[in-house]
Structure 1
Amino acid sequence: MSCVHYKFASRINYAIATFDGRHISLRDLKKQIMGREKLTAAKYDLQITNAQTKEEYTDDGALIPKNVSVIVRRIPIGGVKSTSKADAIRSTEPVMGTSTLTDVASASISLAQLTKTANLAEANASEEDKIKAMMLQSGHAYGPVNYGKKPQGPPPPSYTCFRCGRPGHYIKNCPTNGMNASNLALGLKRALESPEVS
Structure 2
Amino acid sequence: MIRVMVVATSSVVRAGLSAVVTSNPQLSVVGSASDLDVLAEEVGQLQPDVVLLDLSGNPQQLVWEKLLLIQEERYPLAIIIIVEELDSIDLEAVFRSGVRGILPSTSTELEIVAAVEAIAFGLVVLHPDAIELLPLREKVVGNPVQTLTPREIEVLGMLGSGLGNKAIAKRLHISEHTVKFHLSSIFQKLGVSTRTEAVTVGVRSGLIML
TM-score by length of 1: 0.25
Greater Cα radius of gyration, structure 1 or 2: 1
More helix by share: 2
